[in-house]
């Protein structure tokens, strides 16, 4: 059996070798022609899976190693008897930890304590529910909003959108949907920003098109949004450099890119594929993941404010400002030619834009290994009880 796979799926060749001949390629280069004799297709979010791709293929099973499915035409797969699997929740911990690191970094940059602040969590699925836990761990007051879950459960913990938008921070964790009663395409539009508390901090780690970029740009310029932390972009890998330059923190869709989350995604679709094809899964991620380079962390932080201590510890594991710096570097490829439609040297602008696209893809493809907080221990002797409780809630272990 031929298995065509996105080469960026972690350990895809090792995991699926027992099932057949794995051909790993750039996910953006997966074409109908390449699929002609494949029975199994494994993708990530960069590959659009629809009738145009599959119509003349022999594909019997499709899996995406992602928690989102907006890049897959599920109706087409179902109507043609093609099996499907995805990896919901595989990177939820990673995204939530990105949000924690970004919040702490924002607090230091703007000298603004997180403790006691409110945060509207829009979408409370696998990721959003973890973000609610993270927010509580940081001493914040989460306001969860999830209309589908509220309708299903009737639980009063899910609050109306207007209430969530009055929080000090608003973080987006919805899927991208374009139809139905709870469509999220351009959810954060001009009307959305008119309803927010003035001077909010907006975080988007969901999908770029959940936010209307023009509306956000105007909201930032007007001060309706004080700061934006953006990991996802409409039309990525083509990113609007003007919006990125206005963001407090800008990263190239890597919030969920912990090595642990990526391998979990591979494991989930591997098991699903084996079940579909009637095979017994033999590959396991156990033993695949190396231990963290420095699993025991130190903090020389006697007398420092609690949130400063937390940031010093978290940044030893993951510092989003390093991703931000690399991202801004690639966006600065053509500072004198920011917009092709406004530039007399349009060919130069398009070349610069193509360079940015290539660099965006490179940053994601060659992203350095990042491990989750739970694999690290912190010497707690010099830490006060409050910090130690917060570290434990964030997932860190304590060592003596």
Return the residue matching tokens 């910090």: 387
Spatial distance between the Cα atoms of 256 and 26, rounded to a whole number of angstroms: 19
Residue among 159, 207, 356, 370 flagged as catalytic: 207
Spatial distance between the Cα atoms of 349 and 218, rounded to a whole number of angstroms: 24
Residue among 44, 253, 370, 371 flagged as catalytic: 253
Catalytic (active site) residue 51 = no
Catalytic (active site) residue 236 = yes
Enter the DSSP assignment of 206: S
List phi, psi (to 5°) of 143: -120, 95
CB 191: neighbour CB atoms within 10 A? 11
Q: Half-sphere exposure of 348 toward its Cβ, with a 13 Å CA cutoff?
A: 10
Residue among 97, 236, 307, 372 flagged as catalytic: 236
Q: What tokens appear for 385 in the block? A: 């009880």
Return the residue matching tokens 């201590």: 309
Catalytic (active site) residue 207 = yes
Spatial distance between the Cα atoms of 378 and 398, rounded to a whole number of angstroms: 5
For the chain, the helix, strand and coil percentages under 3-state DSSP, each to the nearest 5: 40, 15, 45
3-class DSSP assignment, residue 43: strand
Residues catalogued as catalytic:
207, 236, 253
């Amino acid at each position: 059996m031929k298995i065509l796979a996105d080469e960026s799926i972690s350990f895809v060749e090792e995991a699926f070798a027992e099932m057949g001949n794995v051909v790993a390629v750039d996910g953006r280069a997966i074409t109908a022609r390449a699929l002609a004799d494949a029975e199994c297709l494994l993708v990530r979010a960069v590959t659009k899976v629809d009738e145009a791709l599959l119509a003349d293929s022999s594909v019997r099973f499709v899996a995406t190693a992602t928690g989102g499915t907006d890049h897959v035409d599920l109706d087409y797969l179902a109507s043609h008897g093609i099996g499907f699997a995805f990896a919901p929740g595989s990177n939820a911990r990673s995204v939530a930890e990105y949000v924690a690191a970004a919040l702490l970094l924002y607090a230091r940059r703007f000298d603004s304590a997180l403790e006691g602040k409110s945060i509207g969590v829009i979408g409370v699925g696998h990721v959003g529910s973890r973000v609610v836990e993270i927010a509580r761990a940081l001493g914040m007051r989460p306001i969860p909003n999830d209309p589908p879950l509220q309708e299903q459960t009737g639980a009063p913990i899910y609050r109306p959108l207007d209430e969530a938008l009055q929080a000090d921070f608003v973080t987006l964790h919805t899927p991208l949907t374009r139809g139905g009663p709870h469509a999220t395409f351009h959810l954060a539009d001009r009307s959305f920003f008119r309803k927010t508390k003035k001077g909010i901090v907006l975080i988007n780690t969901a999908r770029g098109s959940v936010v209307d970029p023009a509306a956000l740009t105007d909201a930032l310029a007007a001060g309706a949004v004080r700061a934006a932390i953006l990991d996802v972009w409409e039309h990525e890998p083509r990113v609007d450099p003007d919006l990125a330059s206005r963001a407090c923190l800008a990263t190239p869709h890597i919030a969920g890119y912990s090595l642990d989350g990526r391998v979990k995604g591979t494991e989930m679709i591997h098991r699903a594929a084996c079940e579909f094809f009637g095979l017994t899964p033999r590959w396991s991620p156990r033993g695949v993941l190396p231990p963290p380079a420095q699993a025991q962390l130190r903090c020389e932080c006697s007398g420092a404010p609690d949130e400063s201590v937390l940031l010093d510890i978290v940044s030893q594991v993951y510092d989003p400002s390093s991703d931000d710096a690399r991202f801004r570097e690639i966006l600065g490829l053509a500072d004198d030619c920011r917009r092709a439609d406004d530039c007399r040297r349009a060919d130069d602008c398009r070349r610069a834009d193509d360079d940015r696209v290539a660099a965006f893809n490179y940053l994601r493809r060659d992203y350095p290994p990042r491990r989750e907080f739970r694999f690290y221990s912190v010497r707690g002797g010099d830490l006060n009880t409050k910090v130690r409780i917060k570290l434990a809630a964030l997932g860190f272990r304590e060592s003596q």
